[in-house]
């Protein structure tokens, strides 16, 4: 069951959903618009290896925006700290952003219950596009879980800013 906008606001008021900073103008009929944070990561290695900590370059989005060239991949982050101890968040691009050819979260859109942080976004441009810190870039929906809830307590918990893959920490 998906929460409506009013249910998202209510759950936030009783602290079963976290959205900080919160802006009531970003509430939609069944989602909340999130904004792009200021920091971007770019992998710098010639080859990405999931068994090692891959080097990245950290970039800041300037006031006049950041150009993502066509066919390139960057990691961004939500401006908001979001999550829930009761509902499963799912994040996606806003349709208006997707219609510009920007994939905001290429895969892994399901956020574990209990994961509360700035979410890392997987940004892939099908056309060269300029993005701005603070722009409405995606939407988060919240879904009611069925069954016993085990809260997330993994390697990305409490993330601030974009976080590169830590797959190298996974058991092989």
pTM for the full predicted model:
0.93
Domains in the chain: ranges and CATH: 5-44+55-146 (2.70.40.10)
Q: In whole angstroms, what is the distance from residue 102 CA to residue 74 CA?
A: 11
Arithmetic mean of pLDDT, 105-124: 92
Alpha-carbon distances of 120 from 4, 9, 30, 38, 147, rounded to whole Å? 24, 23, 22, 12, 27
Tell me the pLDDT tens digit for each residue of 32-87.
999 999 999 999 999 999 999 999 999 999 999 999 999 999 999 999 999 999 99
Q: In whole angstroms, what is the distance from residue 59 CA to residue 68 CA?
A: 12
Backbone angles phi, psi at 163, to 5 degrees: -125, 125
Indicate the SS3 state at residue 154: coil
């Amino acid at each position: 069951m998906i929460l409506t906008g009013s249910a998202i606001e209510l759950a936030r008021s009783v602290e079963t959903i976290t959205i900080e900073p919160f802006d009531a103008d970003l509430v939609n009929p069944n989602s909340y618009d999130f904004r792009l944070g200021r920091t971007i990561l770019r992998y710098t290695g010639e080859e990405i290896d999931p068994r090692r900590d891959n080097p990245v370059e950290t970039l800041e989005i300037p006031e006049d925006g950041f150009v993502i060239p066509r066919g390139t991949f960057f990691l961004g982050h939500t401006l908001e700290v979001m999550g829930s101890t009761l509902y499963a968040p799912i994040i996606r691009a806003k349709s208006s952003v997707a219609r510009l050819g920007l994939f905001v979260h290429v895969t892994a859109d399901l956020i574990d219950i209990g994961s509360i942080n700035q979410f890392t976004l997987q940004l892939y441009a099908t056309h060269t596009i300029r993005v701005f810190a603070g722009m409405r870039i995606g939407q988060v929906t919240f879904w009611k879980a069925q069954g016993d809830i085990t809260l997330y307590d993994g390697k990305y918990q409490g993330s601030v800013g974009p976080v590169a893959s830590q797959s190298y920490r996974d058991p092989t």
